[in-house]
Structure 1
Amino acid sequence: MFGHFRFGHIPALIAGSTMAFGGLWPMFDPRGAMLDFGFPARVDTPAAAPVFVVGNARTTCLGFLMLLFYSRQQFTVVDTCLAVVGAYAGAVDSYVVWKEGNPRMALFRLVSSGFLSTWGYLGWTAAAGR
C-alpha cells in the first residue's frame, strides 16, 4: 500500500486514517467521542449516543474508501474525497460545534478541514504521485 508513498500524500493519509479509525471510537465510548468532537458535556444524553454512532459509521466508510483509493493509486479520487468531505462536512461540523458553544474547537475544525479541502481541490495528492 505504501510503495508509492510521497510526502505530498501525508494530508490525505492523515484524513483517511482519522476518518476510518476515529469513526470507530463512538461505538466503544460515545460520550468520550462526543466530548473530543467538541460537544459540551450537556449533550451527553442516551438519545444522542446512537445518532452519533450511526453518523460516524458513515465517516468510517468514507475514510476506508479514501484509503482504498489511495492503495489503488487513484489519487485524483482521493483528492475529490478530500475536497468534498473537507468542504461540506468540515463546514457543518464547525457550524454545529460553534452553535453548541465551543468556538475554539469550531475554529480548529474549520481551519483544518479548509486546509484539507483546498489540498484536495488543488489536486496536490495526485500531483505528488507523479
Structure 2
Amino acid sequence: MFQHVSIRHIPALYFAFANCVGLVMDPLSGPRSLIELYGLPPAIANVPETWPVWRAGQGRTILLGLLMHVFYWRRQYAVCDVLLMGTAFLGINDCMVVWHNGDKTWAWIRLFGTFAFAAAGFFGLTQGPGAKNKTA
C-alpha cells in the first residue's frame, strides 16, 4: 500500500493531513483554540458569534484536504500538484486576513509557507522528474 510513497510527496501529504486537522480538532477543543492557532486575537476567538463563520470556512478547507487524500492515494500526482499551486491564493488571502486582524508575524509565515507549497506544485514535485501530465 505504501510502496509508492516518496520523499518528494511530503508537501502533498502534509497539505492533505494539515487541512484535515480541523475535522478532528474542532470537536475536541472547539473553534476558539483553532481561531487563535490561525493567528487571530482572543478578541475575535472568544466571540461565539464568529464560530459558525469559522466552521463554514473550515468545512471548505477540510474538503481540500480530503480531495488531496483522494487524488494522492489514487496516484493522480498531477492533480495533487495543481492543488498545491492553489495554495498561493490561499496564502495571499490568509496573509491579508491575519495581517489586518491578528499577528503580523503569522501573516508573513502563512504567506511564505504557502508560496513554498505552491512552488512545489508548480515545479511538479509530486509528479517527479520526467512526468508528462500523467494523472493516473
* Displacement of 1:128: 6.0
Alignment match, 1:99:
100
Alignment match, 1:76:
78
Verify the 8 A CA contact 1:97 1:105 in the aligned structure 2: yes
Higher RCO (CA < 8 A, seq sep 6+)? 1
Q: Deviations over 1:78-117 (max 9, x none)?
A: 0000101x11111101110011131111111011101001
Higher helix content, 1 or 2:
1
Q: 1:128 to 1:67 in 2, by over 3 A?
A: farther
Verify the 8 A CA contact 1:6 1:129 in the aligned structure 2: no
Alignment match, 1:88:
89
* Displacement of 1:2: 2.4
Alignment match, 1:110:
111
Unaligned runs of 5+ in 2: 132-136
Letter in 1 for 2:83: C
In structure 2, C-alpha distance between the alignment counterparts of 1:123 and 1:53, rounded to whole Å: 32
Question: Mapping of 1:38-57 within 5 angstroms?
Answer: 38-43=39-44, 44-57=46-59
Equivalent position SS for 1:125: coil
Alignment match, 1:14:
14
Unaligned runs of 5+ in 1: none
- Runs of 4+ more than 4 Å apart: none
TM-score by length of 1: 0.92
In structure 1, C-alpha distance between the alignment counterparts of 2:11 and 2:3, rounded to whole Å: 17
Q: 59, 63, 66: which one pairs with 1:64?
A: 66
- Percent of matched pairs sharing the same residue: 35
Structure showing greater radius of gyration is 2
Q: 1:117 to 1:46 in 2, by over 3 A?
A: same
Alignment match, 2:134:
none
Verify the 8 A CA contact 1:12 1:125 in the aligned structure 2: yes
In structure 1, C-alpha distance between the alignment counterparts of 2:3 and 2:38, rounded to whole Å: 33
Letter in 1 for 2:18: T
TM-score by length of 2: 0.88
C-alpha RMSD of matched pairs (Å): 1.6
